[in-house]
Amino acid sequence: MKRYILALAAVCLLAGSPSAMAQAQRPQPAAPAQPAPAPAAPPRGPVEPLPAPVIVVIDFQEVLRGSAAAKSIQQQLERTRATYQEDINKKERDLRAAEQELGQQRAVLAPEAFQLRRRDFETRVADVQREVSAKKRQLDQAFEENISKVREQLITIVDELAKEAKANMVISKAAIVIVEKKFDLTGEALARLDKKVTSVKLVMPQLK
């Protein structure tokens, strides 16, 4: 008997309606004549000289990974994930036992009765698979929604640092190959973020 393995599956359906395809194949009417282009705008005057760039660099990913608030979110998510996993493991054990029982009943049940019980078993497997997928999406969404609160606080702190340094440009360290340490304010941003936000109470989105 074919064994049913619990796995996440994503199916991408690419389909076009027959009417739409037929319409696309019909000859299309000629496009109406386009109006003459408007005359080009007169050239502007000389561009005003730009101020010299004053740059500060922040490693946003390092700050978010290392902050106390982000770590608190991750710890809460791991506890929730462990609870979910325990529940899924129990349901998987129940399914394996049901599958084994179904295999033993095949020799004693009428074909129609066996097919009915097999469809019931397959429905249970599909339900668990959908639950696994839904909980995974919920955990991913929870992380994004909660870490965004930390990110907003970090942006405020970076804006303060830029003003204090009289900088007119903030660049992510991910976009730079080499930079002098005096331009890198990642450590200061992390210290201020930890002082401002020590933890975030995890809010879970509704399970769909």
Higher pLDDT, 68 or 50: 68
Percent of the chain beyond pLDDT 70? 79
- pLDDT confidence bin for 13, thresholds 50/70/90: very low
CATH superfamily, domain at 52-196? Skp domain (3.30.910.20)
- pLDDT confidence bin for 7, thresholds 50/70/90: very low
Q: What is the pLDDT of residue 48?
A: 84
175 vs 155: CA distance, rounded Å: 17
Percent of the chain beyond pLDDT 90? 66
Q: Which residue in the block uniquely carries the two structure tokens 């027959």?
A: 18
Tens digits of residue pLDDT in 83-122: 999 999 999 999 999 999 999 988 888 989 999 999 999 9
Mean predicted lDDT score pLDDT of the chain: 83
Q: Checking DSSP bridges between strand 169-172 and strand 55-58, what pairing results, if any?
A: parallel
- pLDDT confidence bin for 21, thresholds 50/70/90: very low
Section 131-152 average pLDDT: 96
Domain ranges of the chain: 52-196
